[in-house]
Amino acid sequence: MSVIANTKMRVSDEQSMLLDVAREFCRDKSPIDRVRAELETETGFDAAVWQEMVNLGWTGIALPESAGGSGLGIGAVVPVVESMGRAMLGTPLISTTLAGQLIVRAGGEEMWGDLVAQVAAGSVATIALLDSADWGETRITCELDSDNRLSGTKTFVADAGVAEHLLVVAQRGGEPVVVHLTADQLPEGAIHQHTLIDQTKRSARVSLEGIVVEASQVLAGAAVVDAIRDVRLLGALLVAAEATGSAASCLDTTVDYLKTRKQFGKLIGSYQALKHPAVDILCDVDSARSFVYHAATLVSDTSLGSDAETACRMAKAQASDTLDYAGDRAVQFHGGMGFTYECDAQLYIRRAQWSRQQWGDAQHHRKHLARLLLDAKR
């Protein structure tokens, strides 16, 4: 058996259509001046645009039809998120999508049917996962005691400030549980916004100390363990898709400059010292896109197998490194302009630092890939 193994890639009619629609929507609604206009606002996005995305059904793409979703599977969210990345369009779509996945994969649809329907209909939801800055840590600190009282603090909770629903990953007697909190259950001051390097994103530290929940707000069982594992991989995939889109538009921005800027009497794009790295970035973007759509082909609604795991991790490892390189070179190749806040290169180099760490960086995923690929046959 080759380590290259599964190389399936398909695109469904629905994915293809979503790609077309999302590309056009994001281009229209999120030109770069609109992106800049949201950088310092409280939420980081335009509520009217978000409402249009909800109206297009994007929050329900991967949720079951019984809950008002489209039942197209998480792979169909990939072209939408890629398009958003391309236009640097924020909004809580990734957070909400992943929260929806955590609920249905953990078997919560029966108990929390209303919640799934609300999420499909556009209620913002997010997962409170991290107890520390280590994406690779799987032990859970945050605790739910026998009186259903929470303790601990979650950190890097994406879009916590606008979320109506928080899905808190906690442990009860050492067993992982998912606790559903509504925003009104958080005490005053529980949310502390981080100042993020990527100003198109929002995340916060959330204190859960002393919050008491009803038994009906707690989801436990074997499916929870798998769901948490799967959501980590799907988070990696969606961020990879977004980063791939951002890397492509970063490349376009750089190439435009190389075609117009003259130095020493020549267009700077004619110099091989700039030309060849631009081709390297293009090849990297191509690789990232191939991995992302390969992974989108393999992820299913059921528990993810090792081929899907491999594909998600490769997508994230490639896309993180690709955007990192593209953003870094975008600043350098814009020369003095590139060093200014005014130059759009800053948006991409900042996005790169965000995407890099989200759901684990490239080294983290390669470490797990080594386990999957190199240890299986020994």
Partner 1 sequence: MTASQNELEAFRAEVSAWMAENKPADPGFLLPQSFMEVSNEQQLEFLREWQHKIWSAGYLGMHWPKEYGGRGMDAVYQSIADQEMRRHDVPIVFNVIGLGWAGPLINHMGTEEEKQRYLKGILSAEDIWCQGFSEPDHGSDLGNAQTRAVRDGEEYVINGSKIWTTMGNYAKYMILLARTNPNTERKYDGLSFFLSPMQADGIETRPIRKITGEYGFTETFFTDARIPASCLMGEEGQGWKIAMQTLQYERGAQAGAAGGLQFVNIVIDDMISQLADVRRDGEAVLDDAVVRDELVKLIMAEKAVTLGDKRSSIPALSSDYPFSLALSHKLRWTEYTRQMRQFAINLQGASGALYVGDDEARQGGFWQRAYFNSFSATIGGGTSQVQANIIAEHVLGLPK
- Summarize as ranges the residues that interact with partner 1 (CB under 8 A): 2-4, 7, 9-11, 15-16, 19, 248, 255, 258-259, 266-267, 269-270, 272, 275-276, 278-279, 282-283, 286-287, 289-291, 293-294, 314, 317-318, 363, 366-367, 369-370, 373-375, 378
CB of 138 to partner 1, least distance (A): 19
Backbone angles phi, psi at 40, to 5 degrees: -110, 10
CB of 208 to partner 1, least distance (A): 35
Q: How far is the CB of 233 from partner 1 (least distance, A)?
A: 16
Pick between residue 77 and residue 103 the one whose CB is nearest to partner 1.
Answer: 77
Report the nearest approach of partner 1 to the CB of residue 220 (Å).
35
Complex with partner 1: residue 232 or 289, whichever CB lies closer: 289
Closer to partner 1 by Cβ: residue 1 or 48: 1
Task: Please report how close the Cβ of residue 260 comes to partner 1 at its closest, in angstroms.
Answer: 10
User: Is the CB of 101 or the CB of 297 nearer to partner 1?
Assistant: 297
Q: Please identify, using beta-carbon distances, which residue of 33 and 375 lies nearer to partner 1.
A: 375
Q: How far is the CB of 296 from partner 1 (least distance, A)?
A: 10
Give whichever of 192 and 262 is closer to partner 1, judged by the CB atom: 262
Burial class from Cβ neighbours inside 10 Å (0-12, 13-18, 19+) for residue 374 reads exposed
Euclidean distance between CA atoms 292 and 273, whole angstroms: 29
Q: Which of 358, 313, 329, 295 is nearest to 85 (CA)?
A: 358
The answer for residues whose C-beta is within 8 angstroms of residue 138's C-beta and 6 or more apart is none
Closer residue to partner 1, CB minimum distance, 222 or 267: 267
Shortest separation between residue 372's beta carbon and partner 1, angstroms? 9
Nearer to partner 1, 194 or 261 (CB): 261
Min. distance of Cβ 328 from partner 1 in angstroms? 18
What torsion do the CA atoms of 241, 242, 243, 245 make, to the nearest 10 degrees? 90
